[in-house]
A and B are shown apart, each in its own frame.
Chain A
Amino acid sequence: MTLRVIEKGDLPGLVDALIAAEAPVVGPVRKGEKHVFGPLARAEDLSLDYVTTILPPKKYLFPQQETLLRFKAGPDPQAEPVFEAHPLTIIGLHPCDLRGIWALDRAFGDDHVDPHYSARRAATTLIGFDCLPDSYCFCTSVGSHLPEPGTYDLFFTDIGAAYTVEVGSERGRALMERHAHSREATGADLALLHERRKQKEALITAHLQADVQTLPLLFESVQKDPLWEELGAKCLSCGNCNLVCPTCYCFDVGDLMQLNLQDGQRIRQWDGCLLTDFATVSGGHNFRKKTESRLRHRYYRKFQYLMTKYGRSFCTGCGRCSRNCLAHINPPDTINALVAAGEKEGV
């Protein structure tokens, strides 16, 4: 990995150059008092002073609705796959959101490779920026607070008068060479980078009271903990947590027809395991009828099922579900109550 440095004053020029050469470019932009990932027309649109966006960047790699097939219906049907991938550069991704994309890469890219996701992913350039947390962030507890090599093309960290730039891929190296005025990092830059990371860690106030890698084991013993019933009584089954989660990737598949009733598309769209009918089969039997069983299922996916399969937590600690839960249910409180219950039982 190469570490480069660019002066702060040179960033707008770099962003404008990327917009000119690598369009379309998206990044965090203001929306009222919040931020969203949106298109950048010029460098000034980029608003790096943000904690988190309403929706995670998964909307670009796994859109809320996308076409899988185009078909002609009728007695002699014909169908062909559709790949909607276009080149895209995303600027301003925080480490937790890069971790979220890592998780989507595992889910869609491992085992049966999903070519619709993979085509989009291959056409996407990821440029990360380090962040400052708020009281909801708990990334340090799930190990997603640092940029992890292999998850970005470039990663920028504000070290005062300049940014360090970690070059994470050949694509990133080429972008730097083409568009940036940069210099090699010195020992002093590296010291500032480490200092800056320490400061960020010190600002995190929400923590899981257990090593995240022990949670799959803890979850073996807390399936019937009364906490689930308690949380189930509060949960509104609205699916907000699924919607804003950078690693929730469950989907529904259905057909959309044109008015001529001949041409149509098979589309997939986001679904959510908290929604009442997620596990209902034809005939009406619902395998997760109780709210608590659906809520518990989501936690088990993040901290046990997918974690056991892929080795790392599928919760990125971004805090989006905590910020958006109408019932104030949040992972740190939930996990910490389970940890306490586990300790009481001597797990």
Chain B
Amino acid sequence: MTAQAAPASLYLGQLATVTAVRPLTDKEKLFDLELPSGPLGHAPGQFVEVSVFGYGEAPISVTSSPTAPGPFQLCVRNVGTVTGALHRLEAGAKVGIRGPFGRGFPLERLRGRDILFVGGGLGLAPLRSLIHYAFDRRHEFGHLTILIGARTPSELLFRDEFETWERRHDVDVHVTVDRAEGDWSGHVGVITTLFPKVQLDPKTTAVVIVGPPVMYRFALAETFAKGVPGDHVYVSLERRMKCGVGKCGHCQMNGVYVCQKGPVFSYTEIADLEEALG
């Protein structure tokens, strides 16, 4: 090779500084991150590849809204090598960030509509980026309804935060847990048991569903029972993206690379993809 300036690598991002770490539950922590170049420049629903050097890299959805000033936020569940290493970091630590990647929530198509948000478990993390966006540009959206579910009360994410959402007059919030524990006096049952509480106009509503793989079929069935058409129903799909640039193959469902065309899809886009909902 002739001597030339080394090209940048697709696989090398920027170093971000962790400016705050806050535990949310036994398994999840919220990380505030700052890039030297300024804002991340993401859209709600996009993800980044986070590196803890020596441990590896993992795809994590951004949980903050681009409308929020200051650091961007990641909500990380401790489930593996990289996320375990992240959980051991403290403010001041530096991590690698590549991205933002993928296609987020379709803001143009959501504007002007009523929105039903359905967040199961860790699915609330990516959904929160859109919820905050809608709060910050409240006039751009119609009626907002938020359904939140977790297995137990202690696993509810952003509990203090959605308790403030519940006090707002311009949003309906319904929360459930699969199993009650402690002093829980709220609703008990899987997230689909909240659907009877929801009044919506299928002609003006968009439904955004994010949750574990098992949740989608049931939540979609409830959504369609209310008459919302598939092209106004959105999901964000989880895959183990190793590259984020449509090469490594890990996120492919049928012929579609989730890291390129997703992670957010309308139901219509994935209805014929057998591998989409697993």
Contacts and interface: CB of A to CB of B under 8 A. Distances in A.
B1 A87 contact: yes
A69 B130 CA distance: 34
B11 A282 contact: no
Among B11, B80, B275, residue most surrounded by chain A Cβ atoms (within 10 Å): B11
Given A76-B94, A250-B248, A253-B248, A287 B239 contact: yes
A81 B212 contact: no
Contact of A264 (B54, B77, B79, B238): B54
For chain B, the bracket of interface size reads: 35 or more
Contacts of B95: 77
Nearest to B90: A75
Interface of A: 68-69, 71-77, 79-81, 83, 85-87, 107-108, 111-116, 119, 122-123, 223, 249-255, 257, 261, 264, 266, 268, 271, 273, 278-283, 285-288, 293, 297, 300, 304-305, 308-309
B182 interface: no
A249 to B, nearest CB: 7
B247 A282 contact: no
B179 interface: no
A250 B246 contact: no
Interface string B77-96: 10110010000000011111
B80 A251 contact: no
B217 interface: no
Contact of B247 (A81, A122, A249): A249
Secondary structure type dominating chain B contacts? loop
B24 interface: no
A283 B248 contact: no
Given A68-B9, A281-B240, A77 B94 contact: yes
A305 B252 CA distance: 10
A115 B7 contact: yes
A273 B15 CA distance: 32
A223 to B, nearest CB: 7
A293 B54 CA distance: 34
A254 B82 CA distance: 10
A257 B54 contact: yes
Nearest to A293: B275
A318 B11 CA distance: 32
Nearest to B54: A73
A81 B53 contact: no
Given A113-B10, A278-B250, 14 more contacts: A72-B53, A76-B94, A77-B96, A79-B15, A85-B1, A114-B245, A116-B9, A251-B247, A257-B54, A264-B53, A282-B58, A287-B253, A287-B275, A308-B255
Among A111, A280, A281, A283, residue most surrounded by chain B Cβ atoms (within 10 Å): A281
Contacts of B3: none
A77 B53 contact: yes
B15 A266 contact: no
B56 interface: yes
Nearest to A80: B12
Contact of A77 (B1, B15, B57): B15
A257 B6 CA distance: 24
Contacts of B79: 282-283
Contacts of B56: 253-255, 266
B274 interface: yes
Contacts of B77: 282-283
Contacts of A107: 247
- Give the top 8 A-B pairs by smallest Cβ distance, nearest first: A250-B249, A81-B9, A73-B54, A305-B255, A112-B245, A73-B53, A287-B278, A115-B7
5 contacts: A75-B92, A253-B56, A266-B57, A282-B58, A309-B255
Nearest to B256: A305
Contacts of A304: 255
Contacts of B255: 300, 304-305, 308-309
